[in-house]
Structure 1
């Protein structure tokens, strides 16, 4: 059975590489994951460390600003490095001479600004400049961007969000939006410049939509954020009300399972069909928030209400302003890993996502046409990452 298909239906063997005494493992490939503590970085760490992963056994370097996380993968070599500081990058990454594949799954996220483009472009360029000249066997770069490639969100003076977008479903052959600041475009330009100077170096671009995954430290961990919201509702004995618009509640949406995104990147990095192309990557189905909200309530064990048309839209950012001590008590009472509410709750991101404003469905036909057969059931994926 195909490895990607097996993982999609949860029959693949997923085990970490084990060392036996002082036996030295002969690695077939060496992955450098920039953003190892993010939702996809975490999935790449686990997937590349599995014994049955194609291209393996893999040696894995994981780079993050915070260093080794509490929930770390035993066989990943964690490197604490601030990729926004070029001297730190040169000192710590130029020594990695055995790297064969670079996985860029990080960003300095903000609404579209020229400064955001400058910062993200400089980080990416700094890493490539440190690694590629010193690692002669580097053969492929995976660049992760996202469905925001096809749209721009602007905040007006009154604080309201306005969306400029292509007409969905989004396809990879759509032209870039004009006269906007989108750091995904900047990252692509840095990538194209780098590979143009080394003909043997291949690349792939991966554009997930809303990512379902796990991370203690990510600006885009929507599953974790909603679990924290639901847990606080349960603790305070109040119902779980949907904090978004009726439009978002009823509309179809895409999700991208973090493990699936990792598998997609490995597929492109190893196979000829996935090289030198950009791909959308979603689970292959659609969901409605009205479906997931009931699942969330059941999983957390909180009273389900859903969307209440009699109430005005809830701002999670406002609602959670004074809940820091509540979260501290929940952590203490349940013997959880010590975290602050600021660390685990991405309220501005959740408010922006659930406020809606436009459909953002993506077509994944190109991935299927070039041979990628991985998929996920979005409801099952949501449950998996909650648990």
Structure 2
């Protein structure tokens, strides 16, 4: 039995948000952390790994017997189809993401009698930005966007069960999450880092591979973890939805020079390139980079996965005049959370973390 005041179960602990949250909550003296993931993951001292596939109801039932002391849940698990953008509107993907949360709730809540709070994640797709341009800045008080997505399925599941439960919930909506993960479907950091390394190996400057200028924003995964701590421990956050973004704005063209400098390169001009189709062609060259710099022996597919697709979209490849996209953090600040991050510094921080861990070359 843990002597800690709180026990948090972080589902999806191998992902970008899950890894940052695991590190953050493990650093707090009153929190016992249980990290749930399908695949093995490197964990801080004292964190208990719960190896479970949330799509497997029987496995969830078996695991729940050891989760009776859980007081809080951060649900950061995510299922994405290989065709990333198309999958966002695919009924199969929606059904799997709904089922993962349902399986956890069905098996955990009867066992964890002390469960007090659940936090789930949504994102900018809640405002329909992948369907049509969203007004700027996007605000939580707006009605739901009309398109179908798994966000609404998961949210409705919580809202239906919460009135008869002892727990409350919160919903966090980050934008363009920056963090550390391997083979994540939506992590721009290793994709940009590997692109830079390959261009450097070919003797090229760091050309900008995306589209036209637009105002954007991002969310450091460490900030999301801090916001999850706030929502888990403040009554005002009960059953509320919050945008959680760094607080500044992002124009990729204007910080591209900082990224180039981090790899000892010159920033080049805009040379549009579909990274998802072009970068996998350079696997042999990547292996040369791996050997040359003593990196961990991972292929581009193992390191980056479908994040090439996500990066193309994030950098507005193929769009001469992309729409601006910014979420308002005002509600979260008004309710008492005042965390913020410098996006340029955050991006460099996570590049350095991946360099230190032998995933990207210095």
Fold equivalence (TM over 0.5) = yes
Is 1:167 equivalent to 2:135 in the alignment? yes
Q: Distance in 2 between matches of 1:171 and 1:59?
A: 33
Normalising by structure 1, report the TM-score: 0.84
Residues 206-285 of structure 1: pairs in structure 2 closer than 5 A: 206-246=172-212, 250-285=213-248
Normalising by structure 2, report the TM-score: 0.90
Report the CA distance between 1:85 and its aligned residue: 1.6
Residues 134-173 of structure 1: pairs in structure 2 closer than 5 A: 134-151=111-128, 153=130, 163-173=131-141
Q: Distance in 1 between matches of 2:2 and 2:170?
A: 28
Is 1:302 equivalent to 2:254 in the alignment? no
Q: Note the alpha carbon deviations across 1:315-374, whole angstroms, 9 max, x for none.
A: 111211221122222222222222110122221111122226422211111011101110
Segment drifting more, 112-121 vs 136-145: 112-121
Instruction: Give 1:7's aligned residue.
Output: none
Q: Distance in 2 between matches of 1:329 and 1:91?
A: 44
Report the CA distance between 1:25 and its aligned residue: 6.3
Q: Distance in 1 between matches of 2:105 and 2:2?
A: 27
Report the CA distance between 1:152 and its aligned residue: 5.3
CA contact (8 A) 1:228 1:344 kept: no
Q: Distance in 2 between matches of 1:226 and 1:108?
A: 22
SS of residue paired to 2:315? helix
Gapped regions of structure 1 (runs ≥ 5): 1-23, 154-162
Instruction: Give 2:170's aligned residue.
Output: 204
Aligned residue pair count? 340
Segment drifting more, 77-86 vs 201-210: 77-86
Which of 302, 312, 315 is equivalent to 1:354?
Answer: 315
Is 1:99 equivalent to 2:70 in the alignment? yes
Residues 1-387 of structure 1: pairs in structure 2 closer than 5 A: 26-50=3-27, 53=28, 56-67=29-40, 69=41, 71-109=42-80, 110-151=87-128, 153=130, 163-178=131-146, 180-198=147-165, 200-246=166-212, 250-308=213-271, 313-345=272-304, 346-355=307-316, 357-387=322-352
Q: Root-mean-square deviation (CA), in Å?
A: 1.6
CA contact (8 A) 1:324 1:341 kept: yes
Q: Note the alpha carbon deviations across 1:183-217, whole angstroms, 9 max, x for none.
A: 1111111111221221x211100000011111113
SS of residue paired to 2:148? coil
SS of residue paired to 1:134? coil
Q: Distance in 2 between matches of 1:261 and 1:184?
A: 17
Q: Distance in 2 between matches of 1:285 and 1:39?
A: 20
Gapped regions of structure 2 (runs ≥ 5): 81-86, 353-362
SS of residue paired to 2:151? helix
Q: Note the alpha carbon deviations across 1:207-249, whole angstroms, 9 max, x for none.
A: 0001111111321111121011101111221121111112xxx
Report the CA distance between 1:80 and its aligned residue: 1.7
CA contact (8 A) 1:171 1:363 kept: yes
Report the CA distance between 1:263 and its aligned residue: 0.2
CA contact (8 A) 1:211 1:255 kept: yes
Report the CA distance between 1:96 and its aligned residue: 0.9
Report the CA distance between 1:164 and its aligned residue: 2.1
SS of residue paired to 1:294? helix
SS of residue paired to 2:110? helix
Q: Which runs of 4+ in 1 moved over 3 A?
A: none
Q: Distance in 2 between matches of 1:273 and 1:338?
A: 47
Q: Distance in 2 between matches of 1:186 and 1:343?
A: 30
